Amino acid sequence: MNAPLAHSPAVRTTCPYCGVGCGVLAKPDGAGGAAVTGDPGHPANFGRLCSKGSALGETLTLHDRLLYPMMRDGGGALARASWDAALDRVADGFKRIVAQHGPNAVAFYLSGQLLTEDYYVANKLMKGFIGSANVDTNSRLCMASSVAGHKRAFGADTVPGNYEDLDQADLLVLTGSNTAWCHPVLFQRMLANKRERGARIVVIDPRRTATADEADLFLPIAPGMDTVLFSGLLTYLADVAAVNWNYVTEHTAGFDDALARAREIAPDLPTVATKTGLTESDIARFYAWFAGTRRAVTCYSQGVNQSAQGTDKVGAIINCHLATGRIGLPGAGPFSLTGQPNAMGGREVGGLANQLAAHMGFSPEEVDRVGRFWQAPHMATHEGLKAVDMFDAIARGEIKALWVMGTNPAVSLPRAAAVREALSELELFVVSENVHANDTVSAKPHVLLPAAAWGERDGTVTNSERRISRQRSFLPLPGESKPDWWAVSEVAKRLGHGEAFAYRSAAEIFREHAALSAFENEGTRDFDIGGLDTLDDRAYARLAPIQWPVRDDASQTARFFADGKFFTPDRKAKFAMPAEPALADRLGDAFPLWLNTGRIRDQWHTMTRTGRSQRLGGHLPEAFVEIHPEDAARFGIVNGEYARIATAHGKCVLKAVVTTAQQRGMLFAPIHWSDATAGLARVGDMVIAATDPYSGQPESKATAATIAPVSFRWRGFALTRTPFAPPVDVPYARVAATGGYGLLFASDESPETWRQRAERIFANAECAEYLDAPGEQYRVAAFVDGRLAGALFVAPFHAAPEWDAVKTLFEAEAVSADARRALLSGRSADGAGSCGPLVCACFGVPLGVIREAIAAGAGDADAIGRAVKAGTNCGSCKPELKRILADERAPQTV
């Protein structure tokens, strides 16, 4: 009887992925799943979702969920435990280590994917009650340089503008941001601005990304050289009298010194061209556009932040906005695009080792103020260790207890393999997770705590434009999982702080957080949501998306700094004095190429959620490395074959993609694959751990590397109902397959060896097999009760078998006799072969179907959309549609 549930109302909540913070409507299906659509009423997205957001309903499975607390026994085996026993062990361990070694021997490593309420409680426990500031977060790898740059310029970590500025700007400068793939819904707003108002888009990135494909001007900058480009812009603005002197005099300090420094770094156009690798005419065009366009927004993300001089890059950008007074105005300002759904909320609670709480730091007055508010017995009085330093201290044995919550550091930190080793040094290693298997969980935690996941948890997140939105639960808590704030509060109680952590709901925590933001604030701190500290439970439950500040006196601030007042002691903004830029690593004979790392359109970080969706796995199913054709020729790399990438820190074997989108001398590899999802593809192992001196953010975009070809004789795929362990030391990728597990692999083992393996995997099934006479090809389809239970195909490398038709049968409830006969051919019963990789993930449209639409006359991306729907939802495949159109129209070479 689930008829009534069919009418259960949709729950308004927020997407758990990127910092755009789209509103979604989730309608539970009564069977543990939900239909997810965009919320037309949410001001971040007005109903739109990207491919990841619209596939949320496909990721709600419980099959890989951590459902019970677990503890490691003396023999090293993990076993189910009660919450009481697990929490006791955490509390006892922390207590003992603090007693023996002091509070700085313990640490929390948190995440911008936690809810504000979880974050607040963890930060309060460590900084006010344990007495250490060793609370850092994966935001250190993500936003730290923006935070440091904001604080240096504005006196506070303030994002001045809002999304409407992106609709109203006449010039959008995107630097170090692949917005089309990483903030797709915002990118669609930018494209609408371009289409409807004629805004120009400038993209600055060493790679020609999908974002660059839509640019009016693309600047393929040399890695790390943004500071030169923007210093050159500052000198140009001064030289063409585009500086707003009134503004500079009234509202800023340090212009003359900053200009002098800019002239040292970028004295003239030829120098800028030499250092950035750009042409003088492109640079001049960018400068003229910027100088001549009052409504200019500069958006930046990891190409700027993840740099050993990220804070200076941010400073060089902000300098140009201050010099022109283009900040805090409609359609104008610097705009840090935040990565994670709650990167901003984490900053608001102070969940970074160099912040205290509520945008306060460690000055004696601030420590005193927060201490009085919390009635805290053991206030931390100085900054704690930032992520990279924290894991170094763990490796040295100085930090002995660590609680990881909502992040996968064994994959995502630089030198990930070393991080994993460091974890094994811990006396107490606690992980709060949603899944029971990822690389951090496999690094042998002593205690595993099952956390409420998206759809179950309840609280708030803040997006890139300072808008606080509710994440609401629409599914019951599965197994014994609990909200993270609950687990932290329980440990706090066991440490003797019951009164300060007697929270019964997220709403209570939120009220306290809001009250702290207003406590003795009087307009001195940007972050103030005092107007929300009296929300009762009902009002919290109903809270509509709201932008901060929300002050007690109900005064409105749509944009910060519109009045030219900043949060520095003299209320003036400070110009930055950036250093001459240089990358941290050095190229040499052993490592002659730069390895750049980043994201792809349809996967989220370490794939613990997006990796569950077959549709999302269809776009780019395997880990890969991109390389320019000339470098490929030089190093013997062949498109579609494999390559070994090595740096001083580690190596991987990735599929080679030879493309002119990549600059000469640079490689690009995505960060998403790990040991849990692939073989030899954990890119974080190779990344240098050099950090920015102000922000502590690692330079994840440039490590000296080398590349060499690797060939395999065979290639294949497997579809199974239970996962199986492929041979080690070969590249493989686990790919979501509805109803089971997909695997793509390369191999030097013969088809006959694979046949023997298949016999074991499909021991209890009825098998149809094919092994050709020379033993070059093997195919098996296994049936149980008339249903396809699995398949394994192996073929010579260059005749790799296609799996789309087999996948369709693998999903089907029953397989017809015709289909069964056709199966081993890899074609469906109606004769259709593979349609190729998925291009539009929203509507599941593969390349083959798009090519057919073009052949049938569709002449542009919109026409393809009308014919086969591709690109008509989130639009993030539109750049790809245009590339396909161009390819199809290009004269065929023979």
Where does this chain bind ligand SF4 (CB under 6 A)? 15, 17-18, 20-22, 45, 49-50, 52-53, 183-185
Partner from ligand MGD, Mo ion, ligand SF4, none binding residue 49, C-beta < 5-8 Å depending on class: ligand SF4
Partner from ligand MGD, ligand SF4, Mo ion, none binding residue 695, C-beta < 5-8 Å depending on class: none
Q: Is 182 in the site for ligand MGD (CB under 6 A)?
A: yes
Three-state DSSP at 87 gives helix
Q: Which residues of 146-162 are buried (b: 16+ CB within 10 A; e: fewer)?
A: bbbbbbbbbbbbbbbbb
Q: Is 175 in the site for ligand MGD (CB under 6 A)?
A: yes
59, 134, 293, 340: which one contacts ligand MGD (CB under 6 A)?
340
Site size for Mo ion, by CB under 5 A? Answer: 2
Q: How far is the CB of 509 from ligand SF4 (least distance, A)?
A: 23
Token couple for 341: 């759904």
Q: Which residues inside 362-421 make contact with ligand MGD, applying CB under 6 A? A: 405-409, 411-412
Tell me which residue of 14, 21, 114, 13 sits closest to 465, measured CA to CA: 21
Q: Name which of 185 and 399 has its Cβ closer to ligand SF4.
A: 185
CA dist., res. 349 & res. 696, Å (int): 19
Q: How far is the CB of 14 from ligand SF4 (least distance, A)?
A: 8
Q: Name which of 189 and 313 has its Cβ closer to ligand SF4.
A: 189
223, 224, 339, 414: which one contacts Mo ion (CB under 5 A)?
339
CA dist., res. 138 & res. 604, Å (int): 14
Q: Is 880 in the site for ligand MGD (CB under 6 A)?
A: no
Q: Name which of 360 and 506 has its Cβ closer to ligand MGD.
A: 506
663, 700, 720, 872: which one contacts ligand MGD (CB under 6 A)?
700
Q: How far is the CB of 177 from ligand MGD (least distance, A)?
A: 4
Beta strands in 602-691 (DSSP E): 624-627, 642-647, 651-658, 666-670, 678-679
CA dist., res. 764 & res. 790, Å (int): 11
Q: Which residues inside 445-504 make contact with ligand MGD, applying CB under 6 A? A: 451, 453, 457, 484
CA dist., res. 349 & res. 509, Å (int): 11
Amino acid letter, 758 = A
Token couple for 590: 């052993």
Across-strand partners of 10?
none
Token couple for 283: 């640079």
Partner from Mo ion, ligand MGD, ligand SF4, none binding residue 113, C-beta < 5-8 Å depending on class: ligand MGD
CA dist., res. 120 & res. 348, Å (int): 9
Q: Is 342 in the site for ligand MGD (CB under 6 A)?
A: no
Q: Is 601 in the site for ligand MGD (CB under 6 A)?
A: yes
3-class SS letters over 361-413: CCCHHHHHHHHHHHCCCCCCCCCCCCHHHHHHHHHCCCCCEEEEECCCHHHHC
Listed in sequence order, the DSSP H helices in 155-254 are 163-168, 179-182, 184-197, 226-239, 245-251
Partner from Mo ion, ligand SF4, ligand MGD, none binding residue 366, C-beta < 5-8 Å depending on class: none
Q: How far is the CB of 188 from ligand SF4 (least distance, A)?
A: 9
Q: Is 604 in the site for ligand MGD (CB under 6 A)?
A: yes
Please give the distance of CA 473 from its chain centroid, rounded to a whole number: 23
Across-strand partners of 669?
597
Amino acid letter, 277 = G
Contact window for ligand MGD (CB under 6 A) among 107-115, 348-356, 382-390, 778-786: 107-115
Q: Name which of 20 and 147 has its Cβ closer to ligand SF4.
A: 20
Q: How far is the CB of 20 from ligand SF4 (least distance, A)?
A: 4
Three-state DSSP at 807 gives helix
16, with CB counted inside 10 A (0-12, 13-18, 19+), is buried
Q: How far is the CB of 305 from Mo ion (least distance, A)?
A: 8
Partner from ligand MGD, Mo ion, ligand SF4, none binding residue 460, C-beta < 5-8 Å depending on class: none
Q: Is 387 in the site for Mo ion (CB under 5 A)?
A: no
DSSP 728-784: TTS-EEEEEETTEEEEEEEESS-HHHHHHHHHHHTTTSEEEEEE-TTS--EEEEEEE
Q: How far is the CB of 352 from ligand SF4 (least distance, A)?
A: 22
* Contact letters for ligand MGD, residues 272-311 (x by CB under 6 A): -----------------------------xxx--x-----
Q: Is 178 in the site for ligand MGD (CB under 6 A)?
A: yes
Across-strand partners of 405?
432
Partner from Mo ion, ligand MGD, ligand SF4, none binding residue 408, C-beta < 5-8 Å depending on class: ligand MGD
Contact window for Mo ion (CB under 5 A) among 134-142, 595-603, 790-798, 823-831: 134-142
Q: At what angle do helices 861-868 and 878-889 cross, to 10 degrees?
A: 100
Listed in sequence order, the DSSP H helices in 240-306 are 245-251, 255-265, 269-276, 280-292, 302-305
66, 142, 317, 387: which one contacts Mo ion (CB under 5 A)?
142
Which residues of the shown chain bind Mo ion in the complex (CB under 5 A)? 142, 339
Which residues are near ligand MGD by CB under 6 A? 18, 111, 113-114, 138, 141-142, 175-178, 181-182, 204-207, 209, 221, 223-224, 226, 301-303, 306, 339-340, 405-409, 411-412, 432-435, 438, 451, 453, 457, 484, 596-599, 601, 603-606, 608, 671, 683-684, 687, 700-701
